[in-house]
Structure 1
């Protein structure tokens, strides 16, 4: 699975703009599913799921990854071709569709975050030490609002992805065989808003 797929066709944008397909895509980014599995999880008819899968496959957003026979029935497993999607320059004039496809995928990410939090083990959120230093905590939960230029924000994004790349490299290191390794789920969202959400901005220079 590719880390990022560049969308080059308007049909791909339209396909991802559909809320149901966006939800299907989030499931298929996680792992392969059959139409039956998606039908049960999304509480939709097999026919409706089949239609949406065909649309996603037609637009090269998902692919058939394996087949298994079960009870005389051939099951087809589909998976997303990438973990993330980015529109090509040629598609940027389709502002409405670009925006809506991004919005729908972020909404599905938010829903996935909620379900993951609710299903996480109790010890995930235990504080073993009383500290105002986040590095002493076993989890991260924070919301921020900042006022910067587009250029500054994009520079920060580069640093963020570089940092996550370093963490993924550590995770994939075959020599990292420590028995106390644990799984951690990380999700981040950042986007422009119309107005401040918090009434007071933080005073970085000290004071009340």
Structure 2
């Protein structure tokens, strides 16, 4: 988690650049760690030239940048990373937000796919338990439905993001031993039928 976690979308060009579901997937791949176009392509099962094209388009509008360049067999390997981890859209762009509907859905699906991949590749000790008390386990595993109004959800969401900011501060100030934890969360209005059955 970076202290500079906000990626503010301020222009229509930037909004248009992230309106492509594949670009949202590319962004999710390099939100926390820089990768080359080839590495991204291998993760997404997309050709490297196609990934490089989209990286260049995202770079043009300041959404990604080259964090470092390494030489491999005399060939420059460019490592791209996003300019922030959490995408926030300037309210001035609200008239254009309809263009983002499918990209937002694709982004959430990408987050869930990443969660599945991280779960499958996590070390065995990640799921070791030392007591019968869930709150003593160093994991979070929650999936639920709640029936509240939208204003209540938005108020709770603010508190949740404050907790994430607190986590970022802990990371920034921690000078001792560190363990890397993966945290993934999504939340959205679900179908009424599904919610009522839970």
TM norm structure 2: 0.86
Partner of 2:22: 20
Partner of 1:172: 172
Structure 1 moving runs of 4+ over 4 Å: 198-201
My pick for the range that moved more, 107-116 or 139-148, is: 139-148
Structure 1: where are the runs of 5+ without partners? 202-208
Write out per-residue CA displacement over residues 98-128 of structure 1, whole angstroms, 9 at most, x where no aligned residue.
Answer: 3233222211111110000001122322333
Give the superposed CA RMSD. Answer: 2.2
Return the match for 1:63 from 40, 43, 65: 65
The 5 Å alignment of 1:47-196 reads 47-131=49-133, 134-174=134-174, 177=176, 182-196=179-193
Q: Which has the higher Rg, Structure 1 or Structure 2?
A: 1
- What is the total number of aligned residue pairs between the two structures? 196
What's the offset of the Cα at 1:182? Answer: 3.1
Determine which structure has the larger helix proportion and give its number.
2
What's the offset of the Cα at 1:200? Answer: 4.4
Higher relative contact order (CA 8 A, sep 6+): 2
What's the offset of the Cα at 1:152? Answer: 1.5
Partner of 1:205: none
Aligned partner of residue 86 in structure 1, secondary structure? strand
Structure 2: where are the runs of 5+ without partners? none
Partner of 2:5: 3
